[in-house]
Amino acid sequence: MDFTPTEEQSAAADLAARILGDHSTHERLAAAGTGSDAGLWKELCAAGLVGAVADTGLLGLVMLLEEQGRVTAQVPFAASCVYGLLAVTAHGSPEQRERLLPGIADGTVVVTGAISDAPALSASAPLPGSSSPSSSTASSPSSSPSSPSASSPSSSRSVSGTLTGVLPAVPWLREATHVLVADDRRRLWLVRTAEAAASEPVELTAPWSAGRLTLDGTPGEALGAAGAYEDLLATARTAFAGLQAGVCAGSLARAVEHTNTREQFGQPLAARQGVQLRAADAYMDTEAIRVTAYEAAWRRDEGLPYATHALTAAWWASEAGRRVVHTGQHLHGGAGADLGHPVHRHFLWGRQLDAYLGCGGELLQELGELIANGKVET
């Protein structure tokens, strides 16, 4: 395996770091409240960073999300790339790709997702005149269920159906034009937010512009075939692990700056062994999140099975991510408990990502079951 970024991936990450760093100041983030930064989102799309993910792959996206996490930029970057661009590219029909991808790339179409291990939606049979899910996409027998080629589009016609259920908290719903959801049979459906029965704002731990989505016979179009849900879940877990790596790196950077400038009894706090040990542990945890996310992303881009690697990255993001953001806050002393302090924003993001798409215990159980059943990928 070779995680060395390509020239294109490095250039995209450098550009993202400059744009995100210039716009995600403490004052601007505070002014955004729990909403998103529409101006920043427009600039990221205009710079071609969302569309670039189609070429740089999941590893390129993980690198971009690291930069977002460092500054906790309030834009639906991860959601629209994972549930929109990558999902439609991997599992959409030719017609869906032609219709949706240009809008996703330029930011006029924003896609978020509501998938979990226990989908709460029920879907009706396809509407009259539409094709069945099995005929709209075809699975390649030589493909792993957890690789993006596991469900390759073979028809230009989308499957239509209706969905019913309530999704209590959907990140970035307030900004989304579409939501990718999973029904109780783990089939993926793309729903227009304007056609939902109801959509109301809710607050999460992190300021992710979330909302409660109610579907009541809401029309949706199917995306992908058997295996698409599992691939999307693994992709999301990998991408959000990359985001967590950036959140942790940003929290640790703030802690290092604080402990090097704050003095106690005539010495910087960083001179104390206890501070050094906690910072060193946080650094190692952050690197573990980053390298496991890189490995899972690289395997997907290479067309290799990566579901268990995505679980590993997500476990590190949950368990180690929680430790790091707590350390970042603790090393700031009393200032870390200030809700208005910049490091507290990293704490909120880290705790949100800690349980997003499965907490550590759930992920470890899922991984253990795969190992016990001899389904570990090599």
Residue-wise over 314-345: b if at least 16 C-beta within 10 A, else e? bbbbbbbbbbbbbbbbebbeeebeeeebbbbb
- Beta partners for 182? 188
Going by pLDDT thresholds of 50, 70 and 90, the confidence category of residue 201 is very high
Structure tokens at 332: 């700031």
What are the tens digits of pLDDT across the range 246-268?
Answer: 999 999 999 999 888 887 788 88
Q: Which residue has the higher pLDDT, 167 or 141?
A: 167
Return the top range by mean pLDDT from 4-8, 54-58, 134-138: 54-58
Going by pLDDT thresholds of 50, 70 and 90, the confidence category of residue 140 is very low
Going by pLDDT thresholds of 50, 70 and 90, the confidence category of residue 222 is very high
Strand residues in 230-370 grouped as ranges (E): 263-264, 267-268
* Residue 230: closest CA among 92, 117, 363: 117
Residue 50 Cα distances to 58, 103, 107, angstroms: 12, 10, 8
The whole-number average pLDDT for the span 208-232 is 93
Percent over 90 (pLDDT), the chain: 69
The whole-number average pLDDT for the span 10-22 is 96
Residues 121 and 182 sit within 8 Å (Cβ to Cβ):
yes
What is the distance between the alpha carbons of residues 351 and 133, in angstroms, rounded to a whole number?
37
Average pLDDT score, the chain: 88
- The answer, yes or no, to whether residue 117 has pLDDT greater than 80, is no
Instruction: Quote the pLDDT of residue 145.
Output: 46
- What's the whole-model pTM score? 0.90
What are the tens digits of pLDDT across the range 54-76?
Answer: 999 999 999 999 999 999 999 99
177: DSSP letter: S
Going by pLDDT thresholds of 50, 70 and 90, the confidence category of residue 138 is very low
Q: Which residue has the higher pLDDT, 1 or 342?
A: 342
What is the distance between the alpha carbons of residues 200 and 62, in angstroms, rounded to a whole number?
30
What are the tens digits of pLDDT across the range 267-311?
Answer: 888 878 888 999 999 999 999 999 999 999 999 999 999 999 999
* Residue 53: closest CA among 251, 242, 291: 242
Q: Which residue has the higher pLDDT, 218 or 265?
A: 218
What are the tens digits of pLDDT across the range 32-45?
Answer: 888 999 999 999 99
Q: 3-state DSSP call for residue 243?
A: helix
140 CB-near residues (< 8 Å, 6+ apart): 149, 150, 152
Percent over 70 (pLDDT), the chain: 89
**In terms of C-beta density within 10 A (0-12 exposed, 13-18 middle, 19 or more buried), how is residue 296 classed?**
buried
Instruction: Quote the pLDDT of residue 158.
Output: 60
